[in-house]
Structure 1
Amino acid sequence: MTPGRRSSTFTRLLRHGFTDPSAAERLLDGPELAPVRDDPVLLEALGATADPDLALHGLVRLLEAQDGPTAHRELLDTLIAAKPLRDRLLGVLGASAALTDHLARHPADWQALVMYEPQDLHPGLMEFERGLAGATDPVSLRVAYRRCLLSIAARDVCGTTDVAETAAELADLATATLRTALAIAQAHAPEDAAACRLAVIAMGKCGGHELNYVSDVDVIFVAEATEATTEAKALTSATRLASHLMRICSETTVEGSIWPVDANLRPEGRNGPLVRTLSSHLAYYQRWAKTWEFQALLKARPVAGDADLGQAYIDALEPMVWTAAERDNFVPDVQKMRRRVVENIPASEIERELKLGPGGLRDVEFAVQLLQLVHGRTDQSLRSGTTLDALQALAAGGYVGREDAARLDEAYRFLRSMEHRIQLYRLRRTHLVPVAEEDQRRLGRSLGLRTDPAAELIREWKRHTGVVRRLHEKLFYRPLLDAVAQLAPGEARLSLEAARARLVALGYADPAAALRHLEALASGVTRKAAIQRTLLPVLLGWFADSADPDAGLLNFRKVSDALGKTPWYLRLLRDEGAAAENLARVLSAGRLAPDLLMRAPEAVALLGDGDGTGMRGAGLAPRERAPLEQEILAAVGRAENAEQAVTAARGVRRRELFRTAAADIVGSYGTETSPAEADQGALVDRVGAAVSDLTAATLAGTLRAVVREGWGETLPTRFAMIGMGRFGGHELGYGSDADVVFVHEPQDGVDEHEAAAAANKVVAEMRRLLQLPSADPPLLIDADLRPEGKSGPLVRTLKAYEAYYRRWSLVWESQALLRAEPVAGDEDLGRRFTALIDPLRYPRHGLAEDAVREIRRLKARMESERLPRGADPKLHTKLGPGGLSDVEWTVQLFQLRHGWDHPGLRTTRTREALSAAREAGLLSAEEAEILDEAWVLATRVRNAVMLVRGRAGDTFPTEPRELSAVGRYLGYGAGHAGDMLDAYRRTTRRARTVVEELFYGDGT
């Protein structure tokens, strides 16, 4: 070869993907390829293989092995003339060193790739049985098996079959091999064959028609006696035949082995008899089988031996498989088993484990099988042993979202293709991604990756495992699964005919109306109705676990009607963590949350995982004040006028009130919550902070809207709102008014009268806008805590406040200022107001005795004059003994008397101040705990009344269903309302005893 030609060939070889072009040149210049070395077709075909160097070397070996010049020339001529053969043969040579070795030992077997008929494209069991028909011993069976395997691999690497078809062909070839091996064993021992009926049941991937190139073939053997023999003799004969069959397939010969036949999935595993009768199998599965054994039977399929006996085995055990989900702890057991598999992977291999590792093939298979076993009890369309077919059926039935199913399908196909090509190279059983770059390059090219095959392979592998891992967590640990599994078989998929009895049993007061709702939700053949039929049996139970199941179902129908055409709604309930249970709890807990949701149905999305972690109600976590205010101000900025701006602000408030109410309800049920969330005080603090922040943000948005419409961007006077009472204390309830005082200070150069007029106009317009008719919970501004109360001006300047407090301030006003905190408007002005009032609320020398007596007199007067006529004082949460006022006035007396000496008392929050008083030694830990418990309980009752009735109230409702709903919120089951009232009286009575000592005695 001339230097110029050599240089040209060298470049072409590099371009066609050869990594060792020098060696390739030598092979091309050898005598074996002399007739075709200049044919560009050959080089193009080699360059299309997974490993052109390996393919070229294998081709030379195959040519060298041909029996004489005629056979050599026939192979070359056919190779160049017939593209299908060329692609198949070179494709195999470039992907499988093991099959290349086979061809070198059996050089005529390349002719098995010549055929290109329809049955050759997609052969079935009959074609493989014909391919193995001449095998009469283990060695000839291995040769025939490899010849058939050669044709499967050729179709695979050329793309004639996809990965699912390839796996099915491998399973059919395994079936034909088991049948042939059994025939050889029976021919070797005809007396044993005559003494028994033996059936071979394929399990695992062979049973599921999704076998790998190299895999154990899992089987179970079942036998029966013939008429001429006893059962004992039949089992002995069947065991000899089964053992011989296993040796034929598993033992290594001069032609290697086929694959191990593994019978360890049989009853009792390797400790149990290899062969049992059908009745023995049944007895074991009825009494002793574990959960995983029923999961394994999902793929059982008779493949060899006595067909009638094999089918009888499947028919007898299938009902057990599809009722396995009713076993105690079925879903947790399956989930635990999957976790054990991952935990047992060696640390050095887990990152390379394609099958068993996180995001691997087993994650897809376990998720699909768990969904099948739970829902397949009532839906026979799900009863497939093939993973991809089952996944498609789950998507069609609405059990898995179409998009999720498509992503899982794509990922599973890619991972199975990787597994196939890894095993095909050496025909070794492995699931580890290779680490050598040359192996990754060959593997990547075999999957069609060409630019940078090794890097692209790893990138695609990681991408698909990430998808599988996320969706496995989403589907496999779906809380709805366990709930569905625990239903009785007739309840697992809603049947309208059987629904009435279930509704009555669950406590629905109006089953006829409930049936109408169910029919509207679940009848029909739409995908929406199919998903509803899956969801509703569980939802009905959750609704029934409330004080008003009928209201819960009615509200669910209203939400579903509003969101029925929204694609994410039912998907959210089916797929996303605890969304369905959260919704059921919220819709049946009272009026407030459902009413808010009906006004903004899209807020259902808040009930899901939110952050994708699977944590219960993560979307219900309260939002911080700053982003909340930014959202409202942005909405106000987009509005055309002040009224539209306030409507937009109300929309945000409505959604956030729902978020807070839903989180409160979900947390109050105490299911799967963290200890902090289950703590009653923490729930109260979270509601108070969330509602107070939301109110402040809404007022800030309303202020911005008023200023922008009346004055543009700048008001003639600085303006601030000071929160008072529960608002200033971050303790607002759902129905609380916003107690505020207004302060302003003229801008430089602005006349005081003009500034005052502007400030008063702002206040009047804000109050008008917030009082416009709306279906939302009202937000009322109450300014009665200002100096001189209702008789005083609505707005004062900072100087006017200073003059008033210096000359006229009364002790009750100092007490009211204990909870004053800026909430909106000019921040600097708010801080200066706070500095102005600090000496009044935390006096340097404490309180004089006459001031203490005045506070006690005011408290006694309030108790006697403000309690509503006819109300039971002992159950009034605000004014009753041991209620909110008792605790708050006691704490506030501590603050007025000792706030100067103990900085921890300088807080607007009641519970913080109580804790600080305890740390300062002003009361005992027991006294502080008693007061805190009473305050938290009274606040919880007020919140519960608002959630249940949809309107504020300071005492327990009298209507039985409402009282029961308040009880459920407070943790009392049905029929325990009396216990709840007794506990409230007991708690507040203890608190009143402490108040008598600390507030009216000398304790403070």
Structure 2
Amino acid sequence: MSLQTLLSQHQPYLPRTLQSLAESVCRQLEEKLSADDLAVFADDRFAGSVLKVCCCSEFVRDSWLRNPGLLSDLVTSGDLFSADRGGAYRQHLLDNPADAEAMLARQLRQFRRREMVRIAWRDLAGWANLNETLVDLTALAEACIQTALDFFYQQACKRWGTPTLSNGEPFNIVVLGMGKLGAWELNYSSDIDLIFAYAEDGLLSEKKEISYGEFFTRICRSLIKMLDETTVDGFVFRTDVRLRPFGDSGPLIMTFDGMENYYLTQAREWERYAMIKARQVAGDFDTGKQLAALIKPFVYRRYLDYGAFEELRSLKFQIMQELKRKDRLDNVKLGPGGIREVEFIGQAFQLIRGGREPALQQREIQVVLGVLRELNLMRADDVANLKFAYRFLRRVENHIQQYQDRQTHDLPQQAPVQQILAYSLDFADWDNFKQELDRVRGSVQAVFDEVFSLSEQDSRQHAARQVWTGADEERSLENLAGYGFADPQAVYNALRDFKICSPIKRMTRKGAGVLDRLMPLLIERVPCVENRDITLNRILALFEAVAGRNVYLSLLAENPDALTQLITLAAASPWICEYLAEYPILFDELLDPRSLFEPLKKDDLRQDLRRELDRTDGNDGEQLMIALRQFKHQNVLRVAAADIMGVLPVMIVSDYLTWIAEVILEQVLERAWRILTDKHGCPPNGQIDTAGGFAIIAFGKFGGIELGYASDLDLVFLYDCADGNAMTNGDKPINSGQFYLRLGQKIRHILDTKMLSGVLYECDLRLRPNGDSGLLVTHIKQYENYLREQAWTWEHQALVRGRFVAGDPALKTEYEAIRGRILALPRDLAELKRQVREMREKMREHLDNSAAGTFDLKQSKGGIADIEFIVQFGVLAETAHNPALATYTDNVRLLEGLAAQGFIDADDAALLKKAYIGYRDYGHHQVLQGESATASDAEFKEMRARVDEIWRAFME
């Protein structure tokens, strides 16, 4: 069996774009590895991880190919599978001492490569969590630093003697680890920032006179060279000592007294920020305690230091300007919403309050964020978002660096490497990964902008005017960042392009003056919504569309409340502005909420639609379809506006959306009937102006009077005629069965034909007898026979929500009688329960595609579908005893009926009703935001658990 075949058995999923890479990896391994080396593939854990790890890390792959025994050693020793290896690093180096500098250099580099391969392997294989990876990397650096320091200290003592404190005790230097090394958060290919200090000055004169300062400086130089120098075996850790007092111009090492004097008299504010994470990582830990005590007052002031906010904001802007000049906004560490911003947020509170709140005197940012929540200094949801974002971004950072063991924080630009990064993080493709990354970074920046926001209204207005004039790009970008825009450069560019677009350039001087008053207001007020970048772009597109009609812009400039209302609507839905641009008459209604936020009732809708359609050419099907779509868009927009502004509760929103669909279907049926009868005449039981013998039955959300903004229509077409072969009475007669079939086809064509204005409604007809393989229209007698003799239990469940919505009133009566009889059929309750439960489990298995940490409002456990299935089970079980249960089709009233019947406890029914309405309300607003009907795991947590408990009580 080839290695590729062996590995493919252990690799259930590999993106198509990486297949050739995987094949190349297999070929290289087969060429390089001996039979003994290949023996490690007998371990299923190892074999199952090889392709993913080797595809995602050139560094690991190349290290293995250079040293085929490397992985054999890691596997056979068990180190590859151990989560506790980090604690043994130091002992391993002590057990294998080096007796020469060259030997130490080789030993440390080979040891570092072995352990870096192990750490990357465990991370990419999904065996190690983030904390394990960061701690192992930090422990590895510490072990190497301490080992090298011990070696050079001993060598120096042999040559010059041993330095001692004033009390006669020998002592060594203190090595401070800064940044992520100090916080036990070292990233994969990070350099290490070190500061060196020693307790006391003195003179060694036993063998050859040398000051303590020179003695320790020589040790530090040798230590840096040992760690940083690249040899044939690579390097140990890139080492940076520029964070020391006075930077590059300062001495390499200072005494404690010199350090204290510097930090008290000359250190800059950013050095306080840097010192938050400082921790001794090697050297003399006895004297190190003294140094820590000296530094602490510099970092943590005894008073509330709000000046740190401005300093940190200034530092942040400096970094952002540098990134913009270097076109490095894709930097996951320093870019917008990156790792640095999460750290800035936590460390700002530490600098301001750390002296008064000892609990904030921590190094690890995740711990700091938890303390901020406990002290009620930040909202729990903001802390949760930041923690999630930090862990996500740190994994991204590590995986970027594990690819080639390069110290980079930039997202890859080449498509193949992008796919590798996405795959390493368990995303299907780059677009899915990038979408999640953008969401995560946006959530970080939103919190950052709130923490560092300007409070003075005058400053905000001045900043907004400055942004609109755009004279000073750098300052404009700073102001946009201050307003919380996720991508200030993109917003700046959008405003610049807007000002020079043709419709704006063609504006009159008066119109331009209106725009100059309006735009600063817009820039200042858009940050009141979370998705401010998107919202601004939507409104700019709207303003461009209506630029020729200055009156609308004047209304907004003179009425800031209307502008705020527009911003709220634009933020809530991607199509609000599009439709306002398409139907500017609705623009006026921003100033008159009585019309915008009071959608029409069903009778008024029916009159309006009939009036609109009567204006069209009855023989022009395209005009008909355009008019129907315009009617739908206008009225759904009214409902959405009322919904967004909180005027309508979710139950009423669904009522209005359902009424719109019903009124449209009534007219679609009537107009389709006219088109066919004009051509073929009527069946024997029909009239020219009335659709006789035909009915449209709604199922699902439509049948349950629970339509949402993105709902399709589940429909079944029924007809009734005594003789299907009877001919119509027109010039081109066809038999009645064929007539009703064509009527169904015409209705479907009007509903789901895609036009420039979209489809009217997506139409799902699979609930008809025999599904897609069945006839498009079904005779009413055959329908009852099918439901009684052939239908599955799930089709009876669907019938619970089956409702007549348009057609012949006589068929409505007949259909409702059939529905009542089928729902009231006697059933074996145990068998019914089994079938309903199995169908629900099958649905969840196939339809719940929610990602980890998300809750699919419909399909996840404790969601909408569980509630619906409980109701459907109850109706099928109880209608035989209480025919009144067949009266309604909506879940809320059915729950009330089941509670009245005693099938379900009244409190449980109330809970299910509350959950059902809550889920639907949340889902409505997700659609308006252009999002899927999912929520975070934390959302509805208790409610979901209670729904699931009720489900299990009934069904298990």
Q: Which TM-score applies when normalising by structure 1? A: 0.43
Q: Which TM-score applies when normalising by structure 2? A: 0.45
Mark the structure with the bigger radius of gyration.
1
